[in-house]
Copies of this chain bind each other. A is one copy, B any other.
């Protein structure tokens, strides 16, 4: 974001926990991102207003620096029909059901808005700017409140028959297992997401297990975060370590299904929970190795995303820039 007189896009990411926005230019330069908490409580109007405020701030910023806006790309953690500008459903963003989010936003801001599934956006970011530069096929798993995935095969984002494919978080890993936010049982995201980790941490506390989390939980139960669990685990808390190890093992189970089925060149782990790093990755890779065919696994790299929780925001902007013909990507 160093040069004026250039084109850029607003990248925005709407997750279950945070809303992130920044200006992104065709070279991958990024302005200092804004981050807001996602308004809780099922109020779509509050979320739309928060997004619109952020977009207006960045529009103003672009104007002040003489940057022309190609548009705003918005990644949403849910089932999205980009063509129709519709969010079908977003189980982890309360209140979104068949919401015409593009139209609602464009009534409030002066820039065209393109909706995209957040994990599709993150996958595009990996392919454009991240570990996926130069590969043919990759899957980006976004580990957060839920688990999303974007799938790029032979350089093309997989959209499926409905435009909303890539719901890796709702592959089944335990057929009669934990209830998932989607209503079904035993989904991958019911075992390896932030929601799963917090559920297990609360259950351990309710069972009276001895853990340093008790102090935090006693005074502000609703604020217990996966960062707290990770911090406790790094400080040696055995309960916290056990919870993360279990989530990591299930992450490995889901990875094994993806490697055996799709055998991409690369799987990257993005989203806020990727900050857990080795606490999740080590048990995940051990489990993956136990379950995936060696001849497939030896051709699939699995890595933490270097883009981490900005991947969705970067990719949403990148897709707008690519559609506008502003990106030059070798091999595409």
Hey, which bits of chain A sit against chain B, CB under 8 A? 79, 81, 88-89, 136-137, 149, 151, 153-154, 156, 158, 160-162, 164-168, 170-175, 182, 184, 249-250, 253-254, 256-257, 260-265, 290-293, 295-296, 298-300
Nearest first, the 7 closest Cβ-Cβ pairs linking A and B are A160-B263, A161-B299, A165-B263, A171-B257, A167-B260, A170-B260, A162-B299
Interface centre among A89, A166, A182, A260 (most CB of B within 10 A): A260
Instruction: Return chain B residues, CB-CB under 8 Å to A173.
Output: 172-173, 175
| Interface pairs (25), CB distance under 8 Å | A79-B296, A81-B295, A88-B295, A89-B293, A151-B262, A153-B158, A158-B262, A160-B263, A161-B296, A164-B295, A165-B263, A166-B263, A167-B261, A167-B293, A168-B260, A170-B256, A170-B261, A170-B292, A170-B293, A171-B257, A171-B261, A172-B256, A172-B291, A174-B175, A257-B257
Instruction: Return chain B residues, CB-CB under 8 Å to A149.
Output: 261
* Residue contact B296 to A165, C-beta cutoff 8 Å: yes
* Residue contact A262 to B162, C-beta cutoff 8 Å: no
Known contacts A182-B293, A256-B184, A295-B89: A263-B161 contact under CB 8 Å: yes
- Give the nearest-CB partner of A185 in chain B: B291
Instruction: Return chain B residues, CB-CB under 8 Å to A160.
Output: 137, 262-264, 296, 299
Quick one: which of B79, B172, B260, B296 contacts A293, CB cutoff 8 A? B79
Q: How many copies does the complex hold?
A: 2
Apart from the given pairs A137-B161, A175-B250, A182-B293, 16 other A-B contacts in the complex at a CB distance below 8 Å:
A79-B293, A154-B156, A160-B264, A161-B265, A161-B299, A161-B300, A162-B295, A164-B296, A165-B261, A170-B256, A170-B257, A170-B260, A170-B292, A172-B173, A172-B253, A184-B256
How far is B290's CA from A9's CA once the two chains are assembled, in angstroms? 40
- Give the nearest-CB partner of A257 in chain B: B171
Instruction: Return chain B residues, CB-CB under 8 Å to A162.
Output: 263, 295-296, 298-299
Instruction: Return chain B residues, CB-CB under 8 Å to A290.
Output: 184
How far is B137's CA from A257's CA once the two chains are assembled, in angstroms? 20
Least CB distance, A19 to chain B, in whole angstroms: 24
Least CB distance, A189 to chain B, in whole angstroms: 11
Instruction: Return chain B residues, CB-CB under 8 Å to A165.
Output: 261-263, 296
How far is B229's CA from A105's CA once the two chains are assembled, in angstroms? 58
